[in-house]
Amino acid sequence: MARRRSNSADLFAEAAATADAIHEQDQAVAAKSEQERAQKTKLPLGQIQARETDTRPLDPQHVSALAESIAALGLIEPLVVDARSVLLAGGHRLAALQALQETNPEIYNQQFPEGQIQVHMLAFDAEQEPERALQVELAENEKRVNYTRDQIERLAERLKALNYRNIRGRPKEGEKALGPALAVAIGVSTRYVRKILSEQNQ
């Protein structure tokens, strides 16, 4: 009898876990479709407000690498904001934009001539709906745009024109390493980028 009870408890626990997983999947799908419905627009950088409850702490090295990437290629992935211009996703990109504007205003103004930053604006208030804001942030952090081989190769050519070199190890003075810069720009591993670049050279 005890055994049957424990089997029932196991079955119930498994069913509950499955239901939770389905619920989480549904929420992720809802967040993703919400992002797809987002209004594409542009905002002045100073108008975009950081959200106090961002779950990812900023990594200064990543911010610095992103600032370099944005200087070379522009902002590839737009920021995601709520209806009041509060940042929902893209904390590192926002910090990198601010760093670029501060340290290299000339390049910043070349990339963003009118000081306008591309954003996806979602029609809700993060303060009023914090759970929804978290879902959007998590969906964005899990999302990786699948760049085609051609797109990666075109980005690599643009970086090469800016004196980035496909080299292993430490770059020489005046040179910049292509692989890490491209990896940061598109959110994939340096190893993956190197694999594509080596296939391109064959």
* Alpha helices, H only, the chain: 2-36, 60-73, 91-103, 105-111, 130-142, 149-160, 178-186, 190-200
**Domain containing 59: what range?**
38-129
Same domain, 52 and 120: yes
Nearest residue to 74 via CA among 43, 100, 44: 100
Residue type, 158: R
How many other β-carbons are positioned within 10 Å of the β-carbon of residue 73?
A: 18
Number of compact structural domains in the chain: 2
Q: What's this model's pTM, rounded to 2 decimal places?
A: 0.64
Q: Domain for residue 180, yes or no? A: yes
To which residue do tokens 């000081």 refer? 115
Q: Domain for residue 140, yes or no? A: no
Q: How far apart are CA 33 and CA 152, in angstroms?
A: 26
Same domain, 124 and 155: no
Q: Give me the chain's average pLDDT, please.
A: 79
pLDDT tens for each residue of 148-189: 788 788 888 878 877 788 877 777 777 778 888 888 777 778
Give the mean model confidence (pLDDT) for residues 127-137: 84
To which residue do tokens 């542009």 refer? 42
Q: Domain for residue 31, yes or no? A: no
Examine the pLDDT at 111 and tell me if it is beyond 80.
yes
Same domain, 58 and 113: yes
Q: Domain for residue 79, yes or no? A: yes
Same domain, 125 and 63: yes
Lookup: tokens for 58: 């900023």
Contact 108, 75 (CB under 8 A): no
Same domain, 153 and 191: yes
Q: Which of 71, 98, 129 is the last residue of a domain?
A: 129
Q: What is the CATH number of the domain that holds 46?
A: 3.90.1530
Lookup: tokens for 123: 């029609």
Q: Domain for residue 7, yes or no? A: no
Same domain, 103 and 157: no
Q: Domain for residue 120, yes or no? A: yes
**Which residue spans within 62-124 are E strands per DSSP?**
79-81, 87-89, 116-121
37-41, 52-56, 168-172, 177-181: least confidently modelled range: 52-56
Residue type, 121: M
Question: With 0-12 CB in 10 A as exposed, 13-18 as middle and 19+ as buried, what is 39?
Answer: exposed
Q: Domain for residue 43, yes or no? A: yes
Same domain, 109 and 73: yes
Q: Domain for residue 114, yes or no? A: yes
Q: How far apart are CA 88 and CA 127, in angstroms?
A: 11
